[in-house]
Structure 1
Amino acid sequence: MTYKGYLIDLDGTIYMGEHKIEAGTRFVKRLQDREIPYLFVTNNTTKTPAQVQRRLREKFDIDTPETTIYTATLATLDYMNDMAKGKTAYVIGESGLKSAIYAEYKRETENPAYVVVGLDNDLTYEKLSIATLAIAGGAMFIGTNPDLNIPTERGLLPGAGAIAKLLEVATRVKPIFIGKPNAIIMNKAVEQIGLARRDLLMVGDNYLTDIRAGIDNDIDTLLVTTGFTTVAEIQNLPIAPTFVVGSLDDWEI
């Protein structure tokens, strides 16, 4: 089947930490050469779209417009604006998440309207304590994405979902997750690329996020086994991906 557009994961699909996945770069360039629309849909909130764009160009030899990058940060901000609970927030995360949210919401540690949790490489017990008390006090608990792990050149490290899980246990409040596989980010991504779901293919390495994002939102899927989900796990998956490849070089556009 020929697809008119592609939704593409980054971590584990185009690169692995600081390591370039060569087939991923070649895949994007084939899409560009054929002028096929694509959108990078990433759960990573540590960087702004402009920073992601620069990193793709400088480290992974992919020159792509900033408009082709849709992050869980952007989807989170869209969701918060839709909810309109108030204009205060407490954020656990890095610059990509904090700069976007604090540009529109006042930082509040005592009684924020929202507690937003993303990946934070400088996580401390005090940050967790502030978030726990705020959630217990009634703040809306938002998890930018449910990824329990992130694939890196070192191996699978704790992800934003692991931090959110700790706070869920501490507060007994379940977070509202924005990122893949949830409908919130996928609906926005489909809207942004401007194509019907039947004409799109979701490409990624993580069955729990990327592939379930397609399955749960009526989009065909391509699992590439270069990152999180291994070849050995495929036969035991509850719902099979539409397609599976060992390398994006093996996919015919």
Structure 2
Amino acid sequence: MDPRPRLDDRLVRPETREEMVRGRRVLAMPAKPEHGDQHFKLDYVIGAHVKEGYVGSTDMLTRLSQGSDFATDTCVRRQGKDEKTGERYLEELAFEVVNEQSLRDMTERAEDLTARGVRRVVAIFAKRQEVREWSAELDDWRVLDPSGTLDDPTLAQPIPIRALLDRAEADRAVVQALYAKRAPALLAIEAKGLRHGLVQGITALCSALAIALDADRRAALQALDAEGLEALLATLGRERRWP
């Protein structure tokens, strides 16, 4: 039997600013803009990248040891309940935004998280504009290459490190992640663009071949889906007349 406390056994009152770190009761203070803005960007990027079967959370309390019960800024865990324990799954990927906090405090948190079994702890240092990952092997923080990516089984595709720091890069990464996940809204936009291009191509070809596009033919174009438009374009090119 696991002697450790259950993940949701509380030392502090939920929905308050209380946290417990190695027996010390602390208050999670409201953020300055530098921290709050970075946290918002982090949630935006991570939320779009979470793979199916996983779920992301913000400020979720986790009981880590006899003396620690605190939340990370953002985390990703497997969806559903762990059959072995009957409770939620432990987070696998955890993120912290560091602005005014001391490196020592953040290191203690990373140590407690990894000791409990959290696979990866990533910190975004807002003032330095750099991303680091905790290494239990090195017992230190490792700076991640800003031109590299963060790849993890919980993510639909790797996250460019710059996307965690730069707004434009964040937007680009979010769109690419949603497309990789085949988000219906993006697929609909893609289909609309494809259809518009096919109609434009047919219109241009008809003009070049002196084929009149009266109201009935234009109505027929609007009624066709992309596959039908592709077939019509091929027929026009081959037979050089309206079918």
Per the normalisation by structure 1, the TM-score is: 0.28
Structure with more relative contact order (C-alpha pairs < 8 Å, separation 6 or more): 1
Per the normalisation by structure 2, the TM-score is: 0.29
Compare CA radii of gyration and give the structure with the larger one: 2
